[in-house]
A and B are shown apart, each in its own frame.
Chain A
Amino acid sequence: MNRRHFLQLLGSVGMTAVTLRHGPLQAADPNRHYIFVHAGGGWDPTSLCDPKGNTPRADNRGPVNHYAVNDIGEVGNGIRYAPFPDPDLATSTLRDDMAITSFDAFFNDLASDLLVINGIDMQTNNHDTGTRTMWSGSDVQTQPALGALIAQADAPDSPLAFLTNGGYDYSDGLIAPTRVSGSGIFRELAYPERYNTAPDANLDDDATYYLHPDIHQMVDSARTRRLQKLITDTRLPQRRVAMSRLYTVQGSDSNLHRLIDALPASPSGGLRGQAEVAIAAFQSQVASCANLTVGGFDTHGDHDRNQSFSLASLIDGVHYLWSLINSAGLSDRVTVLVGSDFGRTPYYNGGNGKDHWNVTSMLAFGAGVSGNRVVGGTNAHYEALTVDPATLMPSTTGGAVRLTCGHIHHALRRLAGIENDAVARQYALEGGYLPIFG
């Protein structure tokens, strides 16, 4: 049990007083937002942003990749990227099912914005631990996701502060993550007391309500008074905590009506759809952070073909997200991070697949990120290289360090302005600050 959590729990429900948040809207911080895109299952950065090619390994394990070294692309300031992992797939009849069959457009369009962090040592190759480490900076089981830390600091009263489509969304009780299952239901939930929520409904007409709004208001007030009294009367801390949480969310305006106004008329599916909801939530100032996810990266068999499908969905979705951010004028307010559980082995197994490997990469762009750069690195066998702590270039000098998620999250906390947040400080990170994001 995390002591901080325990003390917070007791403090918040101290038997003498309860601080309840209830009342008019307090929207998320309108100035800064964060999106965490999780490639579920463990992606292969050598098939994307840390390419090696088909040079045979000296230890006779075969090549790291099947594609030719000459097919590796490069944009901007040394950002190298792999060709599409399965060229046969790209030209096969299955191409109609795939969003993209090349990474060229993505890297060309984003080059000036993109920061590639290579050679991150995840110190694990377990899915659960890796996912937690990637998005919290630590393998400790009670470590909350960075999104939860930022949301509790920036928008503690917003009921939708931390939107999540999966990935790592553990909050250690700091804030309630909101699970999004599709945008089609939002209109009904935006107007929960109305019978008619159709897009063409006249919202000024009281007849759209099940009961007259005055009556709903009377009921709400009575229920709120009752809950306040229950909270005051109960002597059971566990019950008081539960009541207080409900009191908080019942009394807050979720502002879903603003969110649905910002959503496109015809929402997309997949990662594109997740991106649309996140950006609409930011535009309408109802959310602070969002988790987006794409799965299918656990390619123990037929690696090139299966990574192709998942990378196509991922890169297409992230590319679309980038364009949405720009078209919404949010490029100075939204930071995007793309990562995964870990990487995959720098050789193929007997099933032409790749197993788990503790070295991986991250992509970052957006507000606060100095782009057109690559930091960190790996050798020809895709082993992490130590880096100079100032330049972040591979180095073997005395002070050189091995990049970990602890370093990255130190930098992210500083970027998000929560480095000294009292709550965030309760969740320790290993590794010091490095100027990773510029």
Chain B
Amino acid sequence: MLVVLFALLPACGGGDYDGNDEATPIESAPGSGSDSESSTRGRSIYVAQCQVCHGSSGNGSAAGPSLIDCPSCSSTNSLSTLISNTMPTGNSQQCEGQCAVDVSNYILTAFNDGTPDDEPPSEEPPDPEPPEPPSGGGINVDGQSAYTNQCASCHGSNGTGTPQGPSLIACGSCQSLAVLSERIANTMPLGNSAQCTGDCAGNIAEYILQAFNDQVIGDAAQLLDEILLSDLKTTLRKASLNLAGRLPVANELSDLEFRGEEAFDEILGNIMRESAFYARMMEIWNDFLLQNKYLGGENAISLLRNNDFPQRRWFDELGLNRDDPGEERDLYFWLREQANDAMAQEALRLITYILKNDRPITEMLTGNFIVANYYSARSYGVEGQRSWKTLSNPTFPDYPYDPEDFQPIRLYDPQYGAFPHAGVMTSIMFLNRFPTTPTNRNRHRSRITYKLFLDTDVLLLDGTRPVDAEDINSPNPVLDNPNCSICHSVVDPVASIYQNWSDLGQFRPTSQTGGWHTDMEQRGFKGEPMPLAGNADSSVRWLAEQIVADPRFTKSLVKTLYTGITGQAPIPVPEADVPEDAPQRRAYLAQDAYFQQLANNLATEGNSAAGTNYNLRNTIRAIVKGPYFRATSLQSGADTAAHAYSGSDRLLTPEMLHRKLVATLGLPWQRSNRDRLLDLTGNGLHILYGGMDSDSIITRITEPNGLIASTQKRMASQMACEAVARDFFLFPNERALFPYMHPDDSLLDNNGNIDPDVNTLVISNLQHLHWALLGVDARADDPEILELRNLMAAIQARGLELIDEGGHYLRGRLHFACDLTNDPETGEALPDEERIVEDANYMLRTWQALLVYYLSDYRFVYE
């Protein structure tokens, strides 16, 4: 069967995966000598650069296709063009011009029966200048040369990694020359570790440390040291709002003031045990996993096949009357919601289960289980596997099981037996969210696996598209056509690993269902074939073990958390021609080293024997206490250009803004009992404010636009209206906003002057609002506080004028939308004396105006 193009091929053309190709291209003497001389030169280059993937006989390996009778082997011209543009993978500038011609001649002579033709190479004549010698200058030149020849194709010319190999900047084995030398000697290059041992390994190790670590890490440390950090109190407020949607309480702040960083760590640790924190973690991970698509209705349950899970709609079998309003109907829809939504979010719940139980995060991929609550477990027909926690006062006494009690379960297929779970990767929901087709053959799932768990975008693989993209004539282009195999050799082995899982996410082991395609690369990872013994039916689990052992796994976790917590995407890889000392490259390398250090710590902190390493809380704590999250200014003399991305100010997402309103005002922003910023329906504001539905809208808008600005204004006007009277209704010590004020306090006296006694109270209350709403700890004589006090005086004065002028505002009362005539808790009508309606001196509306100011301030709608 012929295979055409698949959904991942395209990208050959992007070109700049690592974007940092600083190595001097290796070129032979231009156009000189006979074909045999060229071929001889080509042989030495082939051995150094190509053999590791294509084999010494050119017959290929798991890492590279065969070159015998390859589609581009018809002429020197076509083959050298291909090599110039695409090879070595990830570092195509390494062999261009005459170098590519020489290698082509060798390949044609040695592995193909023809002799090289006489066509001139299609490239521009190579640069007549000889290549620049290695710069030396403290660099191990032999190591540099060996690295360029043997390592750069996988790890990138500047060590920042490629889809074939991880970054070497601040790598796990980079802590000492001895460790790194030994690692290289014993394992590198993959599949041929005897190629570089002894001095070779030592030289390369020294070069890696000199070029990619000492210098880069030193520069990174210097750059990050230039960032001035927010104080612990401000940091705690920001972290508390971010991670748990609440403000720090008074005793936390006093504890922080007394014990400093020790208290900070303790409080943050407690925050990371709150239910709101786990909800926040699901929110962060959903931005990547997109599982919330299946929330609501039967969107998740309907993905199960009835033959596989005959209990999937168990709530239908209870005989509940769901047509007529009443308790049975309420129960029916409650049960359905608990089952469906638990199933929809099972991948996200797995991550929070790991966190709650202090298990290593590697289990999100390697765990031989998925999690469920009682209700979703019953849909899977495995509720008997666990003893479920019950609530003391359940909504429906017949169903006392806590919907928040998620526990590990193992699923069974009626025909094929126990699922070989691999955490998230074999979740039926995950497999449906990232589906495949008979012709796609799991390649989409492979791409997503690389993207989500290996910090690798395979669409950025180096290479170019063939001129004629409709290659349906090659016997097997994904194997034979290097234009195709450059991507497929990375993607297909992982795609094949998913072969035991159907397009519907069903467990269908190919050992029992007719095998797998033979015209694509078989199961493997990073050039190593998967051992079939013991893995044939559980190959995703084998892959999971490989992934968590790969340094890119922890780095992908770090980047996921960093993006979610700071709201900032990692700095993109600079273009290849950006100089080493350019600000943007310095910024990128500093952040990459920072990520790598966090990744290393994630893997090593804790006790692996006790299973306490791979604890995400350590990473979250490090991010929160780190320079990007806490950046508040720069030292004088700092390289401002290199700090373009230093900081974490973000337009709050609709979810975060919703939580901040509740946390600061004690009120959600609602209409018709729907939270406006969370509402995905037509009149909701979630999408308009930049949110996503995890279905068709899967990215967030991070920059404000006109509609977002209008939404902020409306939110500020409406919430200020609702909040003032409600807050004054409470006892002063219960108030979130006006603890220092009495509703009758007037800033202006009868003569229109500022009343000194009330002024003191107003100043104190402004300080309180500044902290509560803006996170700014302002002194009483802070110019901004005084300016706001003056604004209040001006507003009150104008308000009194309006009352004097007559018309609507003559009535000296609050707008009827903003007054309080019913108890906010019970909804019952208040007696006249408790109602907050009158505002004869315009002071309540002055506070209302101040709240409009605060709620639309940059420091409120951003964090």
- Interface of A with B (CB < 8 Å)? 1-3, 6, 9-10, 13, 15, 40, 121, 123-130, 139-142, 158-160, 166, 173, 176-182, 184-185, 188-190, 192-193, 195, 205-207, 210-212, 214-216, 218-219, 222-223, 226-227, 230, 234-239, 242-243, 245-246, 249-250, 252, 254, 256, 286, 295, 300-301, 345, 349-351, 353, 355-359, 383-384, 402
| Chain B residues whose C-beta falls within 8 Å of the C-beta of A250 in the assembled complex | 704, 709, 712, 856
Question: A189-B710, A192-B710, A210-B717 known; A356 and B7 CB under 8 Å?
Answer: yes
Task: Give the complex CA separation of A357 and B9 in angstroms.
Answer: 11
Q: Which of B439, B465, B649, B711 contacts A349 (CB 8 A)?
A: B439
B459 touches A254 (CB 8 A): no
How far, in Å, is A201 (CB) from chain B's closest CB?
Answer: 13
Bound-complex Cα distance A249 to B861 (A)? 13
Are B10 and A179 touching (Cβ within 8 A)?
no
Chain A residues whose CB sits within 8 angstroms of the CB of B683 once the complex forms: 182, 184-185
- What is the minimal beta-carbon distance from B231 to any residue of chain A, in angstroms? 15
* Residues A243 and B437 in contact in the complex (CB < 8 Å), given A206-B807, A250-B709: no
Considering the complex, which residues of chain B in the window 695-721 have a beta carbon less than 8 Å from any beta carbon of chain A? 696-697, 701, 703-714, 717-718, 720-721
Asked if B848 is at the interface of the complex by the 8 Å CB criterion, the answer is yes
Q: Please, which residue of chain A has its CB at the minimum distance from the CB of B436?
A: A300
B→A interface (CB under 8 Å): 4-11, 13-14, 437-440, 459-460, 465, 467, 469-470, 568, 571-575, 578, 583-584, 588, 631-634, 640-641, 643-651, 682-688, 690, 696-697, 701, 703-714, 717-718, 720-721, 784, 787-788, 791, 794-795, 798-799, 802, 807-809, 815, 817-818, 845, 848-850, 852-853, 856-858, 861-862
Do B710 and A125 touch (CB < 8 A)?
no
Whether A219 contacts B858 by the Cβ 8 Å rule is no
Which of A6, A207, A226 is B644 in contact with, Cβ under 8 Å? A6
Interface pair A139/B13, CB less than 8 Å apart: yes
Distance, CA A252 to CA B682, complexed state (A): 25
Contact, CB under 8 Å: B849 / A1: no
Q: Which residues of B contact A181 (CB under 8 A)?
A: 682, 684-688
CB < 8 Å neighbour of B646 from A127, A188, A238, A402: A238
Task: Decide: A239 and B845 in contact? CB cutoff 8 A.
Answer: no
Q: Which of A10, A166, A192, A226 has the most CB of B within 10 A?
A: A192
Tell which of A182, A215, A230 touches B798, judged by Cβ atoms closer than 8 Å: A215
Nearest-CB distance from B712 to chain A (Å)? 8
Q: Could you say which of B465, B644, B809 contacts A238, with CB atoms under 8 Å apart?
A: B644
Q: Which residue of A lies closest to B638 (CB)?
A: A235
A383 to B469, CA, bound (A): 9
A252-B709 Cα distance, complex, nearest whole Å: 9
- Return 22 A-B CB contacts under 8 Å, by A number: A10-B644, A124-B11, A126-B11, A128-B459, A129-B459, A179-B688, A190-B710, A210-B848, A211-B852, A218-B798, A222-B787, A226-B857, A236-B633, A239-B647, A239-B649, A246-B709, A249-B708, A256-B706, A256-B710, A351-B438, A356-B7, A359-B470
Task: Tell me, in angstroms, the Cα distance from A193 to B848 when the chains sit together.
Answer: 12
Q: Please judge, given known A-B contacts A6-B584, A246-B862, whether A358 and B437 are in contact too, CB under 8 Å.
A: no
| Distance of A176 Cα from B703 Cα, bound (Å) | 6
A238 and B631 form a contact (CB under 8 A): yes
Q: Within the complex, what minimum Cβ distance (angstroms) separates A75 from chain B?
A: 29
Most chain B beta-carbon neighbours within 10 Å: one of A184, A205, A235: A235
Contact A1 B802 (CB under 8 A): no
Please determine whether B718 and A210 come into contact, CB atoms closer than 8 angstroms: yes
Contact flag A176-B633 (CB < 8 Å), given A15-B640, A166-B697, A238-B646: no
**A188 to B465 Cα, complex, angstroms:** 50
Contact indicator B791/A218 (Cβ below 8 Å) = yes
| Bound-state Cα–Cα, A200 to B11, Å | 55
Among A3, A159, A218, point to the contact of B795 (Cβ < 8 A).
A218
Supplied contacts A1-B571, A219-B795, A250-B856, 6 more A-B pairs, CB within 8 Å: A10-B583, A178-B706, A210-B721, A219-B853, A219-B856, A242-B858
Give the contacting residue for B853; candidates A126, A222, A402; CB below 8 A: A222
Give the interface centre of A159, A185, A254 by most chain B CB atoms within 10 Å: A185
Q: Once the chains are docked, how many angstroms separate the CA of A209 from the CA of B633?
A: 39
B703 contacts A173, CB within 8 Å? yes
Q: Is the interface of A mostly helix, strand, loop or mixed?
A: loop
Chain A residue nearest to B716 in the complex (CB):
A192
A215 touches B817 (CB 8 A): no
**B701/A1 in contact, CB under 8 A:** no
Contact partner, A222, options B6, B791, B815, Cβ 8 Å = B791
Cα separation A230 to B860 with both chains bound (whole Å) = 13
Chain B residues within an 8 Å CB radius of A139: 10-11, 13-14
Contact partner of B717 among A1, A176, A192, CB < 8 A? A192
Q: Report whether B815 and A126 are in contact in the complex, using a CB–CB cutoff of 8 Å.
A: no
A10-B644, A139-B11 known; A160 and B437 CB under 8 Å? no
- A246 CB, min distance to chain B CBs, angstroms: 5
- Give the distance in Å from the alpha carbon of A180 to the alpha carbon of B705 in the complex: 11
Neighbouring A residues of B631 by C-beta, 8 Å: 236, 238
Q: Are B848 and A211 touching (Cβ within 8 A)?
A: yes
* B146 CB to nearest chain A CB (Å): 30
Is there an interface contact between A189 and B714, defined as CB atoms closer than 8 Å?
yes
Cβ contact within 8 Å between B6 and A125: yes
Whether B703 pairs with A193 at a CB distance below 8 angstroms is no
Contact A1 B588 (CB under 8 A): yes
With contacts A195-B815, A226-B857, A237-B640 known, is A159 near B709, CB below 8 A? yes
Q: Which of A15, A126, A178, A355 has the most CB of B within 10 A?
A: A126
Given contacts A1-B584, A212-B799, contact A179 B808 (CB under 8 A): no
Given contacts A1-B571, A140-B14, contact A160 B707 (CB under 8 A): yes
B578–A3 touching, CB < 8 Å: yes
CB distance from A357 to the nearest CB of B (A): 7
Known: A195-B815, A238-B645. A226 touches B784 (CB 8 A): yes
Measured in the bound complex, the distance between the Cα atoms of B802 and A206 in whole Å is: 11
Partner of B705, one of A128, A178, A184: A178
CA distance A230 to B645 in the complex (A): 18
Q: Given A139-B14, A176-B705, A180-B688, check contact A210 B9 (CB 8 Å).
A: no
Within 8 Å CB of B682, what residues of A? 181-182, 184-185
A117 to B648, CA, bound (A): 45
Partner of A177, one of B14, B684, B701, B858: B701
Closest beta carbon of chain B to A416's beta carbon, Å: 21
Q: How far apart are B694's CB and chain A's nearest CB, in angstroms?
A: 14
Set of chain A residues within 8 Å of B798, measured between Cβ atoms: 212, 214-215, 218
A238-B644, A249-B706 known; A301 and B688 CB under 8 Å? no
The smallest C-beta distance from B649 to any residue of chain A, in angstroms, reads: 5
CA gap between A226 and B853 in the complex, in Å? 10
Asked if A236 and B646 make an inter-chain contact with CB atoms under 8 angstroms apart, the answer reads yes
Measured between beta carbons, the chain B residues less than 8 angstroms from A356 are 5-7
Which residues of A sit under 8 angstroms from B469, Cβ to Cβ? 121, 123, 358
With the chains together, A300 CA to B6 CA distance in Å? 12
Q: What is the CA–CA distance of A142 and B686 in the complex, to the nearest angstrom?
A: 26
